[in-house]
Amino acid sequence: MTAKVILNPYSNRWNSQARWPEVQAALKAAGVEFESVVSEHKGQVTDLAEEATRAGFSPIIVTGGDGTIGDAVNGLARAAKSTDEPIGPLGIMPTGSANDLVVNLGIPTDLTEAAQVIKAGKTRSIDLGKLNDRFFANNSAAGLEPYVTTKHEKIHNIKGIARYLLAAVQAIMDKPEWHGEVKWDGGEYNGPLTLVSIGNGPRTGGLFFMTPHAKLDDGKLTFAYGFRKTRLSMFIALPRAMKPGKGSYVEMDGMYEVECTRLTIHLDHPSPAHTDGELFPQFIQDFEYSIQPGRLKMIVP
């Protein structure tokens, strides 16, 4: 079959556009038969992925970062014949700034190597998360984490991972907080919240492990939640949010990490929200999460 390669030129502040010739050359050298299409506006990747799937292209290959992957996943889901039909396979030519799902899946960030992975065509079924009416492959959040993203989008003079770190510092200085009612299959929490981070995979933002024990194929959502009373306590937690294992911030007092299949959150006032790093257009107060085990086929090494 012929693959459809979808370029998101805006990904990584137009870096994906600059690397597009390199992507095409790598795929051709690997012997991948493909046609390509370029997204012309924000969110169009979803439409292009849906159209390509309905037209019979396989696999669908995205060129971009985590947000591009998330948009494509929603297009694949829209093209499915039923709400539980497996979707994919989806390949990735990673040109994003963080490439979190790529790292979580063990896909090489070198484009020549990534093209060889796509040519080999090995697939792995991973879980598919859903927030309200939007699907996600890697992670989602309310509270501090997407608040950091709002800061990140306003920083233009710093590139790469350093931008994420500066955005985190700026967000902590603002000290946003909410009161929330959180319920999941097995428990509930009612009280102050600094963050609620929901992971299908453990790594997000290039530096952070907000749900350090999340697994992509265990049929469960992993979510971390908690409240930090002071800016100092938040800054103390920041470096520990970069630890994938022992010593993680989820081991600190007032922080928790839980596994579930369903999760609802009601906040006392609206919060920014994101799926796979893409902010919702408006702040929201009510979140309903679920997991669809093994529904998404990814091309992996």
Which is it for the CA torsion 8, 277, 46, 86, positive or negative? positive
Rounded distance between C-alpha atoms, residue 90 and residue 72, angstroms: 8
Q: Is the peptide bond before 59 cis (omega within 30 degrees of 0)?
A: yes
CA 121 to chain centre: 22
Q: Provide the pLDDT for residue 15.
A: 82
Rounded distance between C-alpha atoms, residue 97 and residue 161, angstroms: 7
Q: Provide the pLDDT for residue 206.
A: 85
Q: Provide the pLDDT for residue 65.
A: 94
Contact 135, 126 (CB under 8 A): no
CATH class for the domain made up of 139-291: mainly beta
Mean pLDDT by 10 residues, the chain (301 residues): 92 84 97 96 94 97 96 98 95 94 97 98 98 98 95 83 87 96 96 97 92 97 96 95 94 96 98 96 97 98 97
Q: Provide the pLDDT for residue 234.
A: 95
Helices and strands, counts by H and E, the chain: 9, 16
Rounded distance between C-alpha atoms, residue 174 and residue 234, angstroms: 11
Q: Provide the pLDDT for residue 90.
A: 98
Q: Provide the pLDDT for residue 161.
A: 76
Residue range 3-121 in CATH 3.40.50.10330: yes
Q: Which two tokens stand for residue 16?
A: 């994906």
Q: Provide the pLDDT for residue 9.
A: 85
Q: Provide the pLDDT for residue 165.
A: 87
Spans of all domains in the chain: 3-121, 139-291
